């Protein structure tokens, strides 16, 4: 057997309508090369993984990793990249928006210059393009690119490209420090490298998606910002905690609004209003944290949600008692300023709520 030259890592979610054609195009584009494709599927409901396994039985160049109860484009790419022995690793989309013929140009760029770590398929160099995207999508993409460039301080035209090829050796040096959050694996690689990665860009004509739909929704856009936060400040204040705390602050606003509604507007007794507001805010925080902070460990189903909600309320109630206790102690026994005492109570409660809910509500 000839040694493996190239691995193509392809994340999939509900791409059953595209993979057959993609494998045909890979086969045509990579004629004469020793390659394999590592598909990483997050248990797509449309049966993409099963379909891939059926292809894999007949074609040993096709490999499948199926992940259960996980979602995430970046982490899927990383796992696929970890699973191959090939010296060159490409990442591309499964939906035929990325033309497999470009793989050869990426490979040629790396072969031509041994100093290069990475070759990127760019929509924004001479000869590239975004195809027939609506202007709104082009604008969004440009804004995101500009934000990314600020963080990167690198002169690359398409930092959000999902189509590139990297030397496996270089990837494995970076792998232990990648964040894996969100959907921008290229950005993750570029920002993780201590010595800037040396890259070349080749033009990419981005095709329109014919079958299936894009998974990049608002939550994914938010994850992009989260990934950037993680890179810039994640070491100082861990990203998950920052998110939890931010949602906590929003929870306070929910609390005050509910209190105003019940006590102020509907004329309920203060205690009744306060209890309702507390329950409402805790519930709000529980669901928001479940959707965002713990997106990767999200609780599903009535039973899991009910159990999660109860444990979250229990944790937060103890947190509230601790909050009041500490603030009162500082204020009365240590003669600290009222505001400082209150803030210290809030901080302790936030850390407590975070630590215990991550262990008991969203723990595994």
Nearer to ligand GDD, 142 or 269 (CB): 142
Q: Does 289 bind ligand GDD (CB under 6 A)?
A: no
Per CB under 6 A, does 273 bind ligand GDD?
no
If binding is defined by CB under 6 A, does position 298 make contact with ligand GDD? no
The Cα 83–Cα 65 span in angstroms is 9
In the DSSP assignment, the letter for residue 207 is P
Q: How many Cβ atoms are within 10 Å of 331's Cβ, its own excluded?
A: 18
**Which of the residues 122 through 151 are near ligand GDD (CB under 6 A)?**
141
Query: What track of x and - describes contact with ligand GDD for positions 33 through 52 (by CB under 6 A)?
Result: -------xxx----------
Q: In Å, how far from its chain's centre is CA 153?
A: 22
All residues at 6 or more sequence positions from 221 whose CB lies less than 8 Å from its CB, including other chains:
140, 144
At 360, phi and psi to the nearest 5? -100, -35
- Pick the closer one to Mn ion by CB: 97 or 285: 97
Q: Which of 222, 350 has the CB closer to ligand GDD? A: 222
> Which one among 12, 122, 289, 290 touches ligand GDD, defined by CB under 6 A?
12
Among 100, 128, 162, 345, binds ligand GDD (CB under 6 A): 162
CA-based nearest residue to 141, from 154, 155, 153, 131: 131
E-strand stretches of 197-241 = 199-203
Instruction: Please report, as residue ranges, which positions from 86 to 105 form the binding site for ligand GDD (by CB under 6 A).
Output: 93-95, 97
According to DSSP, the β-strands at 164-167 and 118-122 are antiparallel
Q: Is there binding between residue 152 and ligand GDD (CB under 6 A)?
A: no
Residues contacting 256, CB < 8 A, separation 6+: 277
Give the residues lining the site for ligand GDD (CB under 6 A). Answer: 11-13, 15, 40-42, 71-73, 76, 93-95, 97, 141, 160, 162, 214-216
């Amino acid at each position: 057997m000839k040694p493996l030259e190239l691995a193509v890592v392809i994340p999939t979610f509900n791409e059953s309508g595209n993979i057959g054609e993609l494998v045909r195009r890979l086969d045509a584009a990579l004629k004469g090369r020793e390659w394999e494709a590592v598909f990483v599927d997050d248990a797509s409901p449309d049966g993409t993984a099963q379909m891939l396994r059926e292809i894999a039985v007949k074609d040993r160049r096709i490999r499948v990793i199926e992940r259960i109860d996980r979602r995430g484009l970046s982490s899927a790419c990383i796992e696929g990249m970890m699973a191959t022995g090939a010296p060159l690793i490409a990442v591309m989309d499964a939906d035929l928006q990325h033309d497999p013929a470009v793989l050869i140009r990426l490979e040629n760029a790396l072969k031509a210059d041994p100093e290069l770590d990475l070759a990127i398929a760019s929509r924004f160099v001479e000869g590239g393009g975004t195809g027939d995207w609506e202007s709104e999508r082009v604008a969004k993409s440009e804004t995101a690119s500009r934000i990314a460039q600020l963080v990167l301080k690198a002169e690359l035209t398409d930092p959000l490209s999902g189509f590139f090829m990297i030397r496996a050796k270089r990837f494995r040096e970076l792998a232990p420090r990648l964040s894996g959050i969100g959907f921008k694996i290229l950005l993750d690689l570029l920002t993780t490298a201590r010595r800037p990665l040396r890259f070349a860009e080749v033009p990419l004509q981005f095709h329109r998606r014919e079958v299936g739909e894009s998974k990049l929704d608002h939550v994914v856009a938010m994850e992009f910002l989260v990934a950037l936060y993680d890179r810039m400040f994640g070491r100082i204040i861990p990203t998950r905690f920052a998110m939890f705390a931010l949602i906590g602050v929003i929870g306070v606003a929910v609390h005050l609004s509910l209190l105003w509604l019940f006590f102020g507007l509907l004329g309920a007794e203060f205690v009744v209003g306060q209890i309702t507001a507390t329950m409402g805010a805790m519930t709000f925080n529980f669901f928001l944290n479940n959707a965002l902070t713990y997106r990767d460990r999200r609780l599903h189903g009535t039973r899991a949600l009910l159990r999660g909600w109860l444990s979250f309320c229990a944790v937060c109630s103890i947190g509230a008692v601790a909050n009041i206790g500490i603030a009162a102690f500082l204020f009365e026994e240590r003669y600290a300023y009222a505001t400082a005492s209150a803030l210290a109570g809030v901080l302790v409660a936030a850390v407590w709520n975070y630590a215990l809910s991550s262990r008991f509500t969203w723990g595994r």
